[in-house]
Amino acid sequence: MNDVTVRLMKAADIDAVTAVENASFLTPWSRAAFEAEISDNDLAHYLVIEFSNQVVAYAGFWMILDEAHVTNVAVLPQHRQQGLGKVLLATLLEHAKELGANAMTLEVRLSNTIARKMYEQAGFVERGRRRQYYTDTQEDALIMWKDNI
């Protein structure tokens, strides 16, 4: 995967990011939500991964005081299990640290064992649970934190 590039998301990426989102989640964010994140939300920071000049993954967080709150991490299904999520997460952590974050937090579906394993390998630990957090399935979310980033 020599032709993989991680970079900041820009407005021109929104259609491709929306396609990744739609392929990844039961209740995807709308195009308008991504437009608002990029143009109106000063707390928002998003990255994309390009592979062969195509956006195949994205992730983002909100920087709130000294904490980075992950909003989304998604990889196109045909590009999963290739380490792109790990690359995105490592780059998110690096970017958050550069912005002054001391910690990063996220919610993950209880059933998403692949993502949970990736977060645990990156040093995230479970610190709580949000009951019926996901409205599409009423599934619980695990709250995970990584301190001292």
Q: How many CB atoms lie within 10 A of CB 148?
A: 7
Residue 66 burial by Cβ neighbours in a 10 Å radius (0-12, 13-18, 19+): exposed
Catalytic residue among 21, 46, 67, 119: 119
DSSP assigned state of 13:
G
Annotated catalytic, 126? no
Q: Which residue in the list 107, 133, 134, 139 is annotated as catalytic? A: 107
CB distance 57 to 75 below 8 Å: yes
134: annotated active-site residue: no
Label each residue of 81-134 as H, E or C. Answer: CCCHHHHHHHHHHHHHHHCCCCEEEEEEECCCHHHHHHHHHCCCEEEEEEEEEE
Sign of CA dihedral 79, 135, 61, 92: negative
Catalytically active residues, by annotation: 107, 119
